[in-house]
Chains A and B, each alone.
Chain A
Amino acid sequence: MKGIYVVGAPASGKTAMSVGLALRCLDEGLKVAYFKPVGSLPGPSLRVDEDAVLMKHLLNMEEPVEDICPFTVSPYYLSRYEPSEEFVQTVIEKYRLVSQGKDVVIIGAAPFPYSMAALKLDAASLAARLDASVLMVNRIESDFSIDSVILYNDYARKFGIEVIGNIFNHVPRPLLDKCEGVYKRYLEDHGYKVLGIIPRHVEVAAPTVAEYHEVLGGEILTGEEHMDRIVEDVLVGAMTMDSALSYLRRATNKAVITGGDRADLALAALETSTSVLILTGGLYPSVNVLARAAEKKVPVILVHEDTFTTIERLHAVSRRIHPDDERSIRLARELFEQYCDVEAIMAYIRP
Chain B
Amino acid sequence: MADLDTLFQPKSIAIVGASTNPEKIGHSIVRNLVDSGYRGKIYPVNPKAVEILGLRCYPNISSLPEPVDVAVVSVPSSLVLGVAEECGRRGTKNLVVITAGFKEIGQEGLRLEKELVQICKRYGMRMVGPNCLGIMDTHTPLNASFARGFPLKGEIAFISQSGALCGSILDWSLDKGVGFSKFISLGNKADLNEADFIAYAAQDESSRVIVCYIEDVANGEQFLRAAREASKKTPVIILKSGTSQAGAQAASSHTGALAGSDKAYDTAFKQAGVLRAKSMTELFDLAIAFATQPIPRGDGVAIVTNSGGPGIIATDAVEDAGLRMTRFSKDTIDDLRSNLPPESNIYNPIDIIGDADPERYRFALEKALSDPGVDSVVVLLTPTAVLDPLETARVIKDVRSRWPNKPLAAAYMGGISIGEGVHELFESRIPTYTFPEPAIRAIAGLTRYGQFLRRPSEKELTFEDVDADRVRQIFEAVKRDNRVVLLGSETAQVAAAYGIKVAETRLARSPREAADLAEAMGYPVVMKVASPMILHKTDVGGVKVGLHNAQEVESAYVDILDNVHRYMRKVEVYGVEVQKMMPKGVELIVGMTRDVQFGPLLAFGLGGIYVNLLQDVSFRLADGLSPTMIREMIEETKAAVLLRGFRGEKARDLDAVMDTVARVAQLVRDFPEIAEMEINPLVAYVSGVSALDVKITLA
Contact = CB atoms under 8 A, between A and B. Distances in A.
A46 interface: no
Given A289-B253, A290-B107, A291-B110, A177 B697 contact: no
A62 interface: no
A295 interface: yes
B572 A270 contact: no
B593 to A, nearest CB: 6
A267 B252 contact: yes
A90 to B, nearest CB: 38
A250 B484 contact: yes
Interface stretch (B41-49, B136-144, B257-265, B329-337): B257-265
B253 A245 contact: no
A169 to B, nearest CB: 15
Interface string A239-257: 0111001100111100000
B600 to A, nearest CB: 13
A271 interface: yes
A58 to B, nearest CB: 28
A172 B697 contact: no
B482 interface: yes
A202 interface: yes
A249 B248 contact: no
A262 interface: yes
Contacts of A264: 248-249, 252-253, 258-259
Contacts of A295: 110
Nearest to B484: A252
A202 B253 contact: no
A89 interface: no
* A interface: dominant SS: helix
Contacts of B256: 267, 286-289, 291-292
A268 B254 contact: no
Given A202-B482, A222-B107, A250-B484, A271 B258 contact: yes
For chain A, give the interface size range: 35 or more
A249 B697 contact: yes
A294 B258 CA distance: 15
A251 B573 CA distance: 16
Contacts of A292: 256-257
Interface string A287-303: 11111101100000000
A142 B106 contact: no
A279 to B, nearest CB: 13
Contacts of B569: 141-142
Nearest to B530: A174
Nearest to B103: A291
B446 to A, nearest CB: 33
A249 B261 contact: no
Q: Which of A252, A291, A294, A295 has the most CB of B within 10 A?
A: A291
A173 interface: yes
A263 interface: yes
Interface in A145-172: 172
Contacts of A273: 484
Interface residues of B, number: 39
A331 to B, nearest CB: 15
Contact of A288 (B254, B565, B575, B699): B254
Nearest to A143: B565
A291 B109 contact: yes
Contacts of B625: none
B596 A271 contact: yes
A222 B106 CA distance: 11
Interface string A127-147: 000000000000001100000
A268 B253 CA distance: 12
Contacts of B105: 287
Interface in B484-534: 484-485, 509, 532
A270 B596 CA distance: 11
Nearest to A253: B482
A263 B596 CA distance: 16
A263 B249 contact: yes
A174 B103 contact: no
B216 to A, nearest CB: 11
Nearest to B532: A250
Interface in B437-493: 481-482, 484-485
A75 B428 CA distance: 86
A251 B532 CA distance: 10
13 contacts: A172-B572, A174-B575, A240-B245, A245-B676, A250-B532, A250-B697, A252-B484, A271-B596, A272-B699, A273-B484, A288-B253, A288-B256, A294-B107
| A-B interface, 3 closest residue pairs, ranked by CB to CB distance from nearest | A288-B256, A287-B106, A267-B258
Interface of A: 141-142, 172-175, 177, 202, 222, 240-242, 245-246, 249-252, 261-264, 267-268, 270-273, 286-292, 294-295
Interface of B: 103-107, 109-110, 245, 248-249, 252-259, 261, 481-482, 484-485, 509, 532, 535, 565, 569-570, 572-575, 593, 596, 675-676, 697, 699
